[in-house]
Amino acid sequence: MLSYGPDERRSRVRAGALALPARRRRVALVPALPLHEWGGRLRRALATEHERRRLFNWLPVCMGAGVLLYFLADREPGPAGPLTGLALCALAGLLTRRRRMVTAVCIAAAATFAGFAAATLRTASVAGPALARNHVGRLTGFVETLEQREKGVRIVVRVTDLPGVEPAQRPRRVRVSTPMTTLRPGDHISATARLLPPPGPARPGGYDFARDAFFQGIGAVGNIAGKVALAPAPVPMPRRLAIAVAIDQARNGLTERIATSGGGQAGAMAAALVTGKRGLISEETNNDLRAAGIYHIVSISGLHMVLAAGTIFWLARALLALSQTAALHWPVKKLAALAAMLGATAYCIFSGAEVATERSLIMTLVMLGAILVDRPALSMRNLALAAMIVLLREPEALLGPSFQMSFGAVAALIAFAERWQERAPDAAAASWPWPLRPLWLSAIGILTTTMVATAATAPYGVYHFQTFNPFGLLGNALALPFVSLMVMPAAVFGVLAYPFGLDWPAWALMGWASGLVLQLAHWVAGIERSTLVLPAFGPLALLLFSLALLWLTLWTTALRFLAALPLAGGLALASAPSRPDILIERDGSGVLVRGAEGKMVLAGKPSRFVLTQWLHADGDARSPDDAALREGAACDARGCVIRLADGRSVAYTRDRIALVEDCRRADLVVTSLYWSAPCAARLIDRSALIRDGATAYHAARGGWRAYTADEVTRLRPWTRARPETRPDTQSAAAPSPVTAEPAQDSDALQ
């Protein structure tokens, strides 16, 4: 029998020579190490990340934290504080530059203050008056932008006069809908408009439409009921407005040209891919694209920008190469890159410059700029730089689904590509003949990128829209080859041929290929459960999901595996969302109550858009037109009564006589009327709704827990002005004739 000394035994154990029998082996998921050893591993991992220059990628995260802190404030902070903090942190970083860790903390704090300061300065730069109350009267102004819809047009008007509203309270811009389709950008119009303040959230915790309108410079929304007349402008058109009008006229002209040549919904989708004008796409088509998981193709972003810039780069380089002098003596590649940069910038401006388009443009410019200076471009650093520029220009974009889904998907794809480059090539696929290997690689690429992007954006889609499309992988696999190989190349050549009037073949081909994409989307949307409606979860769960995504994608060492901790926390919170038992419309036009059987029961007539928001937030896939929504409500001409599971009753009242009786019998009374008399029940009348906006109630044991959309303690520039005095009962007995329409709410969300 062999024997070993202590030193020799230890060395052989380290080498793996002494293996335990199979039945006694145990695998430890986390090695049992002393605390100081874990600290050493952490320091080594951070040192590796520093050597790889990955800490730079966390700067936009710190800036985003500063932006979030700004929007969490309950009053409007001034810029002096964050700017002072930024200067002090920058100074501290310079003084401690020899101490790496202290310098990194100072830079992170400076980035946080920079995000906070950018948000305060942005708010101050766009601040403008908003309509304080509903208004019906004459509206005159310049048509700034115009978008064709299925029925009529939606226009943004730069106001020159609004009689009945004090000049200091007059909105600078309003957004209205009108059936008149002969208007053009730049027209100075006069019409009778029904205007209302930008609506707040449809439910507590929902998307704040008023905040979105504030940062767009829109102080009122509504519609034009009568005839629109052209009127002489009292002042010359400002130069910036004239430039915006010229761009919008060109966009509308090209949109009409493409839509007419392509025909039907295929032409409408083709036009949206080029100009960014999506108004001609019907709601049915939008639903099919969403259900198939390919709605992203009508949002001009990375795919469109890469194809456009790549085509311009290839054409410019090929044309210059035809000249012997240019090919031998000129920097052809750099000139082609410069042409691609100019073309991509023009495309971004022409298509509306949305957040996803700006992000794609910045990344494209950085990569092409690397060609000019003969340096390689680091993709994740490009994304970080793009995020910082967007946050500095439009900090409010951080709160929107476009920013979150766009940057989340691209970060996940870049991180996956970095890991993919480290793997060994597939020897079997490499030996395949020419037609099979590219097809196999393309198929694998589409499937894997779709899976990665879907996993990265799913939490944001569920949080903002409460929907998930499980067959998006199938939809992208079928549709993206047509988009990449036919639709977008035809779009580029069509734009180049448009000034010469030779563009119709490109638009015809683009419309035909877009029709195939729509057919595939319709087929995928027809599959059962192609769209799943999930309950809305809270912002804390979304914050944990975001932290998990950032931690997994921005680190390259074993540190990234710690992303499992926030991911588990986010899943735990999202799997048990807090769902209210009562939802009340902000103007009192309707109420949704969880009945005795656990399903939501409707009383009143809230707008279709708001009702859809309510149902989706509860994880209810029923249509707003479903008759089953009113089952469980005892209704007559004066109101409705609905029983909760605990036996308490909720009364929705339309009549003052019924209100007296409901106050005696019900536990909670909701009405759109003003009421000042005593009420034994918990009463939500019109004055409470004006003060609080949309309201939700949880039926707590022995009482009620209320959540309101407009918190009384939060006074920000985009919050609604609350009246200090209540109107008299006689003048306020009837609801206002101007109510928020579903189209207006959906427009505000867009």
Encode pLDDT of 369-424 as tens digits: 888 887 766 678 888 888 898 899 889 989 988 889 888 988 998 888 888 776 65
The predicted structure's pLDDT at residue 258: 92
CA dist., res. 145 & res. 233, Å (int): 17
Cβ(137)–Cβ(113) below 8 Å: no
Whether residue 735 has pLDDT greater than 50: no
Structure confidence at residue 509 as a pLDDT band (50, 70, 90) = very high
Encode pLDDT of 12-63 as tens digits: 444 444 344 444 444 444 555 666 677 778 888 888 888 888 889 999 999 9
Structure confidence at residue 574 as a pLDDT band (50, 70, 90) = very high
Instruction: Return the biggest CA–CA distance within the chain.
Output: 110
The predicted structure's pLDDT at residue 185: 92
Whether residue 708 has pLDDT greater than 60: yes
Encode pLDDT of 477-501 as tens digits: 888 888 878 888 888 888 888 888 8
Residue 669 C-beta-side C-alpha neighbours within 13 Å: 28
Helix, strand, or coil (residue 453): helix
**CA-wise closest residue to 64 among 23, 21, 114, 103:** 114
Helix, strand, or coil (residue 333): helix
CA dist., res. 639 & res. 653, Å (int): 4
Q: How many residues does the chain have?
A: 750
Among the residue ranges 35-44, 128-137, 237-246, the one predicted with the least confidence is 35-44
Contacts of 112 (CB under 8 A, 6+ apart): 62, 63, 65, 66, 69
Residue 540 C-beta-side C-alpha neighbours within 13 Å: 8
Encode pLDDT of 178-212 as tens digits: 988 788 999 999 999 999 988 888 888 888 888 99
pTM higher than 0.85: no
Q: Are strands 639-643 and 649-653 parallel, antiparallel or unpaired?
A: antiparallel
Contacts of 696 (CB under 8 A, 6+ apart): 203, 204, 580, 582, 583, 584, 706, 707, 708
CA dist., res. 288 & res. 295, Å (int): 8
Q: Between residues 446 and 126, which one has the greater pLDDT? A: 126
The predicted structure's pLDDT at residue 295: 87
The predicted structure's pLDDT at residue 377: 64
Kindly provide the residue ranges of all beta strands, DSSP E only, lying in 649-701, ordered along the sequence.
649-653, 668-671, 682-684, 695-698
Helix, strand, or coil (residue 623): coil
Cβ(143)–Cβ(189) below 8 Å: yes
Record the tokens describing residue 180, joined without a space. 């008149």
Query: How far are the Cα atoms of 57, 306, 344 from residue 359, in angstroms, in the given order?
Result: 15, 12, 12
Kindly provide the residue ranges of all beta strands, DSSP E only, lying in 386-507, ordered along the sequence.
467-468
**What own/partner pairs with CB < 8 Å and gap ≥ 24 does 623-629 have?**
628/599, 629/600, 629/601, 629/602
CA dist., res. 338 & res. 319, Å (int): 14
Encode pLDDT of 311-363 as tens digits: 888 888 888 888 888 888 888 888 999 999 998 888 888 887 777 787 778 87
Helix, strand, or coil (residue 136): strand
* Overall fold of domain 135-245: OB fold (Dihydrolipoamide Acetyltransferase, E2P) (2.40.50)
- Looking at residue 96, the DSSP 8-state letter turns out to be T
Cβ(230)–Cβ(187) below 8 Å: yes
What does pLDDT average to over the chain? 83
**CA-wise closest residue to 115 among 82, 84, 87, 77:** 82
The predicted structure's pLDDT at residue 546: 95
Cβ(639)–Cβ(655) below 8 Å: yes
The predicted structure's pLDDT at residue 429: 55
The predicted structure's pLDDT at residue 508: 92
Contacts of 627 (CB under 8 A, 6+ apart): none
Residues 215-239 have a mean pLDDT of 89
The predicted structure's pLDDT at residue 115: 95
